[in-house]
A and B are shown apart, each in its own frame.
Chain A
Amino acid sequence: MVMSDTPAVLVQQLQKRYGSTPAVVDVSFQVGSGQIYGILGPNGAGKTTTLHCICTLLRPDAGQVEVCGIPVQENPKAVREKLGFVAQEVALDKVLTGRELLQLQADLYHMPRPLAQERIATVLQLLDLTDRADERTGTYSGGLRKRLDLAAGLLHQPQVLVLDEPTVGLDIQSRLVIWDFLRQLKNMGITVLLSSHYLEEIDLLADRVAIIDRGTVIAEGTPEELKARVGGERITVKLQEFAPKELAERGAALLGSLPFVQQVLINSAQGNALNLVVQSNGEDPLGKIRSHLQAHGLELFSSTQSRPSLDDVYLAATGQTLLDAELAAAEAATGKKKK
């Protein structure tokens, strides 16, 4: 195993800007051979730009990118042979049938006809597409289209499969199928690099994760490491179903004064719920919180307790939740359009 020494993907101090807008400011990470590696971040964080630089679709402004030890900028063609890329938007020619699309793909990778036919049959079966292969892709559902796109990305048996938001916009059933499939790929020894803004997707699948915010890696490690590093226990407290801001602020001040509460945040996306980080030492923090609130004339409407999640990792690094960042990004996007 000579390969195991060379990372499947190496990104060092990558930078890319569009005009005066920086998309990637400082991104570095390494994907070990055979891993599932996740890039997590809100929309507009620079995930797609990073992946496009790896897949030779964009030229980096600065930094080093290597795939299987091959520098992307010096030898893009060799990199393209090692890589499969499945873009966020499924782009199929809806007039072609699934099989015709795969045949086109095989020709673009210069496969001899018999080999192509054999591989096409294999990927069709692998993704359970055989029955629909001779229908035009225009008749496919979203999940089916995504599966065909995956089949196309795998046809030339790449060493590294890069997927940009593979399950965005899909129903739960299709997402489960794709998650299962990505695990299967890992068992086949294929390195998988995927981006996502779904926490649970990365948490569930990834061996390691880089969390990206505004073009910068803000945390990197295994999901367990990252969560352990944040530490503490999470308690979300609601004073009312939808608490007014003043009430939430009063509650936050009260709870912030408790010695075991490390952090209080008012989460507007959850109806001004209070997100607490507590260091409980095995005692009953929730009971203390309830009695402290009652002593000051406030009632607990509801509460949930949890171990730290990747969202907490994101929260600890940026001061906002992933959902808040999503909302802010969406707002900024519509604001731009109005101008």
Chain B
Amino acid sequence: MTATASQIQSSRIPFLTADFWQETFALTRRWFIQLKRRPTTLLVGIIQPLLWLILFGALFQNAPAGIFGAGQNYTQFLGAGVIVFTAFGGALNAGVPVIFDREFGFLNRLLVAPLTSRFSIVLASSLFIVSLALVQTAVIVGADYAFGAGIPNGPGLAVVALIVGLLVLGFTALSLGLAFAMPGHQQLLALIFLLNLPLIFSSTALAPLSFMPLWLRWVASLNPLTFAIEPIRHLYRSNDWSFADVVLQAPWGDLTLAGSLGLLAGFVVVSVLLVQRVLRKSLA
């Protein structure tokens, strides 16, 4: 199987070549042109998290002070959760336009072209979704600040952006993998629907670990969303943070800020390897 060997090889090297970036940016540009001419997507993507903040914030407004952690009211607690599940929602849906491309035959246009690596299709979507998620995050951080939740310091904001970027990369890759592996859009949409809310509810987005029964604590502390939420929450809590700070006391041990970044990076690596496998297997 010389073909597979050469394909694997060519999919490792291309990141350094100008050709790879030319095809990647061309595909990214397509998504941005679509966004520019159909701005509704962006508008909804900004209004929705604000509604979450207002409605969920109001829901627990009269909860006893301090039960969400020392010196935090629910609006402060919720900010990190809304940032993460907004970014997560966008990433999880990344495969939808791609599966429609597959069904309408547009994908064949890309597949008959001599792409340096088909990973450029994945990277193009990821760059687009990450940019979108960062815009959404900026709006949520601003709104949260206006609601009196405070704001992380400068370096803290940079780490928030890094966390959102990693989380979105991981879930975008998974969603695109599904878009290539699923038989059709009905199945993909059903699966996204199935994954979306349970993943949010089994994380610490809406309630802290201490509220949960032990089994759910285990689930929540293995959920990648939690690895993103808790460090952001910590950056909101403390202006004097360090990478060695413990951000989550999980049933399996203490998780530090550096540790959660490591876990998120690992999640990205696993997702990207999975999608590479799917690309090789399902496409000739």
- Interaction A to B: yes
Inter-chain contact B114/A77, CB cutoff 8 Å: yes
Binds B, one of A83-91, A254-262, A319-327: A83-91
From A73, A77, A89, A104, B26 is in contact (CB under 8 Å) with A104
With A107-B23, A108-B26, A108-B115 given, is the CB distance from A85 to B34 under 8 Å?
no
Which residues in B have their C-beta under 8 angstroms from that of A109?
113-114
Q: How far is the CB of B185 from chain A (nearest CB, A)?
A: 15
Cα of A197 to Cα of B58 in the assembled complex, Å: 65
Interface string of B264-279 (1 = CB under 8 A from A): 0000000000000000
For residue B22, which residues in chain A have a CB less than 8 angstroms away from its CB?
107, 110
Contact A103 B26 (CB under 8 A): yes
Q: Is B33 an interface residue (CB 8 A)?
A: yes
Docked complex Cα distance between A17 and B38 (Å) = 41
B139 to chain A, nearest CB (A): 24
Complex interface: chain B residues within 8 A of A330 (CB): none
Using a CB–CB distance below 8 Å, which chain A residues touch chain B? 55-59, 73-78, 80-81, 83, 85, 87, 89, 91-93, 95-96, 100, 103-105, 107-110, 136, 152
Q: Are A87 and B284 in contact (CB under 8 A)?
A: no
Considering only CB atoms, which chain B residue lies closest to A91 in the complex? B105
* Given A57-B112, A107-B22: A76 in contact with B105 (beta carbons within 8 A): no
**Known A57-B284, A76-B284: A95·B113 in contact at CB below 8 Å:** no
Task: Pick from A58, A85, A95, A108: contact of B23, CB below 8 A.
Answer: A108
Q: Quick one: which of B69-115 are within 8 Å of A by CB?
A: 101, 104-106, 108-115
B25 at the interface (CB under 8 A from A): yes
Q: How far is the CA of A80 from the CA of B29 in the complex (A)?
A: 23
For B23, the chain A residues whose CB sits under 8 A away are 107-108, 110
Q: How distant is A309 from chain B, measured CB to nearest CB, in Å?
A: 32
The 10 listed contacts between A and B (C-beta, < 8 Å) are A57-B112, A76-B3, A80-B112, A80-B114, A87-B105, A103-B26, A109-B114, A110-B19, A110-B114, A136-B37
Q: Is the CB of A100 within 8 A of B33?
A: yes
Known: A56-B112, A95-B34. A107 touches B26 (CB 8 A): yes
Q: Could you give, for residues 248-282 of chain B, a 1 whenever the CB lies within 8 Å of some chain A CB and a 0 otherwise?
A: 00000000000000000000000000000000000
Mask: chain B, 155-184; 1 = CB below 8 Å from A; 0 = not: 000000000000000000000000000000
